[in-house]
Structure 1
Amino acid sequence: MITMKFSIYHAQPVLDLIGKYESRGDYDIVYGGIPKSLRPKVKITSLTVRGVLTWQANIRAHGVASTAAGKYQIIYNTLKATVAQMGFNTSRVFDETVQDEMACHLLIGRGFQRYLDGAIDMESMVIGLAKEWASLPVPRDMQGPSRWLKAGQSYYAGDGLNKAHASVAEVETALAIARERYRSGAQPSAPAPDPAPAPSPAKPSSSNLLTTALIIGAAAAIIFLKG
């Protein structure tokens, strides 16, 4: 297994871009073409990873075109392979944290750590992302799985199911920000603590009130006598 040296914070610009075009950032979304009767009965972020795999296997058996689930639209075969490669505990809940961890694993598999370390260039990384996420584009004209592609198209263009939605410039910008964060060693700043509440004015005790009343009374008596 490849060691992950980057953090979620370093990868966040890329993760957010993927989520924007794969799922509108929704961790609970599933492929829109799944019939209502076959959709999960609960939010997928409340299912275990094993539960998601079982559900995906079921809809595959019903011939549904895609089993894509979650923010990163992970399909059954990819999820199954990711679990095996990561030695993942499938009793964990398929929540935001788990989905982000799995997306980072997929990034590593497409060369993200090597890109951050300068071992591969930007163009190679953009192609790697396009091969993993169909909504991201290829950066140049090239051969795809089934046809010749133009720059800006999905790597899977022509399959009747997928097309690119992000621009090449958007992908390159997200990658550049991620690399700058990584190389600078930047980490998210801790939020500033809430200011301490101002102390409430002390309430005078009954003895203080009595003393004050006696002083005021004595002063009034002196004034009366002098008058």
Structure 2
Amino acid sequence: MSAELAPLRAYIRRHEAPKGYNQVYGGIKAKDLPPRPLTQMKVREVLAWQDRIDARYPSEAAGAYQIMEDTLRAMVSHGKADPDALFDARTQDALADELMRGRGLDSYLSGKWSAERFCNALAMEWASLPVVTPVERVKRNAAGKVVKKWTVPAGASYYSGDGLNKALTSTDEFLRVVRAIRETRPNIVPTPQAAPPRPKSAPRATTTAGAVLAAAAAALALWWAGVKASLCALPIISIICGG
């Protein structure tokens, strides 16, 4: 269980189950309540109780994170929950961490996901949390055909309109709490690599050719000076040269 997730867990508990780890769905009648506090029951016993009341209520959410029967049963089936463990605070917190991982926690902490994307994923797990950007939803029939499309606006519960759920916190507060858990990991996002240095420009061909021509001209000038000196040394030519 990660200590860095404690603020986010507390935030979820505050909105999902303000009465704590023994809270159950508020619409359950007294005669159908758990036989004893949830934290004193084993996971398998909580599942048995949920299964017993399932047909009579629209929700059998249990505990601080209001975990539904199908969700808890799937976690047991996949080895994410020990059926013989007490459904106490420690176990419930560990289950919450697993649910967050199932909704992209690792991708968020590694920097692959934005805070907005992770918030929207968490809102699909906990109905009291709002989506922070508009989310498109579709409803399909048994054959898989789309029968309805609609947009859940930012600030609303992902499950708004079902007559049972609504968002209980603001998008700004939600984003602030989610961003805070990543701020404790300042080096999670790889530092962008510096661009490789640009290679130096190769000397232009015209520069090399110019140097060759200049050298040839200098050599020619020296040759002519030597020839002229030799000619002017002759008696007849010396008169022309001004000797």
TM-score under structure 2 length normalisation: 0.70
Does residue 41 (structure 1) correspond to residue 35 (structure 2)? The answer is: yes
**Correspondence 1:103 to 2:100:** no
Deviations 1:157-199 (A, max 9, x none): 00010000011111111111111224479xxxxxxxxxxxxxx
Counterpart for residue 127 of structure 2: 134
Letter in structure 1 aligned against 2:177: A
SS state at 1:86 partner:
coil
What does 1:181-196 correspond to in 2, within 5 Å? 181-183=184-186
Gaps of 5+ in 2: 140-149, 189-243
User: Shift of the alpha carbon at 1:87?
Assistant: 4.6
Larger radius of gyration: 2
Offset of 1:84 from its aligned partner?
A: 1.8
Gaps (5+ residues) in structure 1? Answer: 1-6, 186-227
Quote the Cα distance in structure 2 between the aligned partners of 1:20 and 1:144.
Answer: 27
| Number of aligned residues | 178
In structure 2, relative to structure 1, the CA distance for the partners of 1:131 and 1:145 (3 Å cut) is farther
Cα root mean square deviation, aligned: 1.6
Q: Distance in 1 between matches of 2:138 and 2:185?
A: 32
Instruction: Kindly indicate whether the alpha-carbon contact (under 8 Å) linking 1:21 and 1:135 is maintained by their aligned counterparts in 2.
Output: yes
| Contact persistence 2:127–2:158 (CA under 8 A) | yes
Does 1:78 pair with 2:75? no
Please tell me the residue identity of whatever aligns with 2:133.
R
- Give 1:117's aligned residue: 110
| CA separation of 1:124 and 1:45: change in aligned 2, threshold 3 A | same
Q: Is the CA contact 1:145–1:156 (under 8 Å) kept in the aligned structure 2? A: no
CA separation in 1, counterparts of 2:137 and 2:158? 6
Aligned position for 2:173: 170
Alpha-carbon separation, structure 2, partners of 1:43 and 1:65: 21
Q: CA deviation at 1:33?
A: 0.2
User: 2 CA distance for matches of 1:47 and 1:178?
Assistant: 31
Amino acid paired to 2:23: I
Identity of aligned residues (%): 38
Give yes or no for contact 1:136–1:166 (8 Å, CA) kept in 2.
yes
Q: Secondary structure at the match of 2:57?
A: coil
* Contact 1:130 1:136 (8 Å CA) reproduced: yes
More relative contact order, 1 or 2 (CA 8 Å, 6+ apart): 1
C-alpha contact 2:81 2:95 (8 A) present in aligned 1? no
| Cα distance in 2, alignment partners of residues 170 and 25 from structure 1 | 21
One-letter amino acid matched to 1:164? A
Structure 1 residues 127-169: Cα deviation after superposition (integer angstroms, max 9, x where no partner): 1010000000011222235542111000000001000001111
Pick aligned residue for 2:155 from 148, 152, 157: 152
CA deviations over 1:78-123 (Å, ceiling 9, x no partner)? 1111112235321110000000010000000000111011011111
TM-score w.r.t. length of structure 1: 0.74
| More off after superposition, 133-142 vs 46-55 | 133-142
Q: How does 1:211-226 map to 2 (within 5 A)?
A: none
